[in-house]
Amino acid sequence: MTGSTPQTHTRTVDGTTYTVETSQHERGISIVVTVPGVGPEEENDRTYASIDEALAAGDEIARSLIRRKSHTR
């Protein structure tokens, strides 16, 4: 299954700027979240019905990655 050309969205949560790359597929929108200093976190097993839903999920993933990073310091 091929997807659309990925689009990059710059977002900020909890004072940290990160990116969400979205791609449209037959089954929905997939995302890859990248938080600086943490690396990419790919969401292969989940797709989203709308861009708003995908970006909201990206915010939650980014928050989780930021929390995980702050606990390892």
Residue 2: inside a domain, yes or no?
no
Q: Which residue has the higher pLDDT, 21 or 44?
A: 21
**pLDDT (average), residues 28-38:** 93
- Asked whether residue 60 is assigned to any structural domain, the reply reads yes
Is residue 28 a part of any domain in this protein?
A: yes
Averaged pLDDT of the chain: 88
pLDDT in tens, 4-22: 789 999 999 999 999 999 9
Q: Is the pLDDT of residue 1 over 50?
A: no
Cα separation, 3 vs 32, whole angstroms? 13
Q: How many domains does the chain have?
A: 1
Are 21 and 8 contacting, i.e. CB atoms less than 8 angstroms apart?
yes
In this structure, is residue 12 part of a structural domain?
yes
Is residue 50 in a domain?
yes
Q: 23: domain range? A: 7-71
Mean per-residue pLDDT for 54-73? 86
HSE-up (13 A, CA, CB side) for residue 8: 7
Provide mean pLDDT across the span 51-58: 96
* 35 belongs to a structural domain: yes
Contact 34, 42 (CB under 8 A): no
For residue 55, tell me if it sits in a domain.
Answer: yes
Q: Tell me, yes or no, whether 1 lies in a domain.
A: no
